[in-house]
Amino acid sequence: MMGLFIDVEIKPQSCEAGCRACIEVCPVDIFAMNGDQVVSLEENEDECTLCDLCLERCPVDIITINKLYATA
């Protein structure tokens, strides 16, 4: 299940090799490694502060922050 209010989405296929920028920058630990794949921890997604640091730091622009409460 995704977060009730915020869904952090990462396109699965195209992380830059060796990049851990989102993991390092997120203040509320939404990102983690799962093998060699970066994943978002759904149980933490509603903690997102909308700081946009992950979006600014991702070199390949594959992170999307979906504001579920604003999409009605």
Interface residues with ligand SF4 (CB under 6 A) are 8, 10, 15-16, 19-22, 25-28, 30, 38, 48-54, 57-60, 62-63, 65
Q: Minimum Å distance from CB 42 to ligand SF4?
A: 12
Please, what is the minimum distance in Å from the beta carbon of residue 36 to ligand SF4? 10
- Closest approach of Cβ 72 to ligand SF4, in Å? 21
Q: How far apart are CA 72 and CA 68, in angstroms?
A: 8
Cβ–Cβ < 8 Å for 36, 23: no
Asked if 65 contacts 28 with a C-beta cutoff of 8 angstroms, the reply is: no
